[in-house]
Amino acid sequence: MADLKIVIIGGVAGGASAAAKARRVNESAEITMFERGRYVSFANCGLPYYVGNTIVDREELLLQSPGKFWKRFRVTVKVQHEVLSVHPDTQTIMVKDLESGEMFVVPYDKLILAPGAGAIVPDLPGIDAKNIFTVKTVPDSDAIKKFLTDHPSQIAIVVGGGFIGLETAEALMNLGLKVTLVELTPQVLPAFDKDMASLMTQHLQGKGMEIILGDGVHIFHTNDGLAHEIELCSGTRLPCDVVILSIGVRPELKLAKDAGLHIGQSGGIVVNDSQQTSDPNIYAAGDAVEIAHLVTGKPTRIPLAGPANKQGRVAGANAAGGSLTFPGAIGTAIVESLGMIAAKTGLSEREAQAHDYDYFVSVTHPLDHADYYPGAESLHMKLVVEKPTGRLLGAQIIGEQGVDKRIDVLATAIVGRMKVEDLEALDLAYAPQFNSAKGPVIMAGFVAANILRGEVQIITGDELEKKLQSKVPLQLLDVRTSNEYHETHIPQARLIPVDELREHLDELDPTKETVVYCRVGLRGYLACRVLSQHGFQTVSNLTGGILSFPPE
């Protein structure tokens, strides 16, 4: 092992993790890392916060340098060196020094590919304007900050409503710019279900962000090399001083394809659980790799820092002679914009449908901690549950505080293949400033388990909307208070407060399909239990209550 030559292509999360772990496993190996950019390891998730001056010190983004890598790990790091080709037959790579232009051949015994993914930049008229940027690298962020310094700006357009788009939009608003966010799909946060994403949209609009959904960019109109107006596919024209593109990333696959490595159906490099590619001497990690989804078991790409770091660790260990495995991931992610937090883990309802699961959803709106302790805020929680088994398939949470720890509990439950009945029995920390005795996760478990056991039938906002539009004859009951009802209610609904329901049973038709709702679902559940035990044949509770209706 003393003569083992390990070569790593790419730094940042996957490559840097691989290099450090390879050294910890094998002190004698010769380890060399080539990085095309100027920085070997940086916090790309922190870039929007650097743009918005939340992170002021640029050096905080630079996690490692070539000098630090050599001093601590004895890893030779060559930045601004681009690997042009990989030759598995001779176990060599061709490298170009981007500063000098020199090209040279480097042999390897084990190779680790960590090329990552590049920001998608569509080929549109005017796309090369000097005030159109992406937020993928440190130089990207430097360029945005320099432009805003040199060109005082008032109007910003952010194209793309995913995680980076929302974070960058917040950063620009914090700098005092008027921001319009344009998203091609009908919702922000395309990975979420529309009913949950709409909560984020409402919040951002309430904070002054203009949001245009279901429309894409057609042309950038330029003058003197600067975009001054964006024309959308709908014909809408938007003035702009600066434009940020955040429409996704595309895996860097050229080296892998040219080397003859297998590429999967999801568009990533195929690896086994040791991160080994179709060539036994080549490993791969990070955003360019296809991994197993731990819920579906099917191959997918999850371009997130957490999985990339773990994959790099496994690839580095095994290339150096170790024996680690990476089982897969479930895509747990979280984002905050203008004070609202959105988190997702596992499958969305839309994804469950796409994978043909027999499932149901449960929506709850608990407070993040005890209501009698000051400062409690609502959490909006949606569970996706497998019908036959009760296994938790996915979860989404929107709220202003306490989102992170709940999504992590639910992510752990999904990886552990727990059922919603298991959530009922969780023993979680409670003090009034942190949680409730029946905390949000436990309460979500109670509600979902009640549905699973058949104690209550539920109807989603989407399903109720379709019934109302189709004029299905319904007995629609609002079981809130009179004041709540007169403030807002669903058309056709009859008011009977839950505390008065038993006195009005003879006014209702027990043979008619009945839908009950309240504000968040609890009083509706109680009403359903009363009705079902008094002979009402078909009774459903609107899951999540009127807060989840209308669905958009």
Q: Which residues are catalytic?
A: 45
Question: Among residues 533, 494, 534, which one has the least CA distance to residue 516?
Answer: 494
3-state SS assignment for residue 379: strand
CA distance 112 to 4: 13
Q: Which residues, listed in sequence order, are joined to residue 34 by a DSSP beta bridge?
A: 9, 78
CA distance 542 to 517: 5
Q: Which residue has the tokens 């080994």?
A: 276
Question: Among residues 403, 388, 482, which one has the least CA distance to residue 441?
Answer: 403
In this structure, the strands spanning 62-64 and 41-42 are antiparallel
28 and 1 Cβ atoms separated by less than 8 Å:
yes
CA distance 301 to 292: 8
Give residues with Cβ within 8 angstroms of 67, minimum separation 6: none
CA distance 466 to 103: 64
The two three-digit tokens of residue 466, written as one number: 């379709």
290 and 277 Cβ atoms separated by less than 8 Å:
no
What length does the chain have? 552
Alpha-helix residue ranges (DSSP H) falling in 41-89: 47-51, 66-73
Alpha-helix residue ranges (DSSP H) falling in 301-455: 305-319, 349-354, 403-415, 420-424, 440-452
Give residues with Cβ within 8 angstroms of 532, minimum separation 6: 456, 539
Alpha-helix residue ranges (DSSP H) falling in 323-419: 349-354, 403-415
Alpha-helix residue ranges (DSSP H) falling in 185-267: 194-206, 254-258
Q: Which residue has the tokens 């883990």?
A: 345
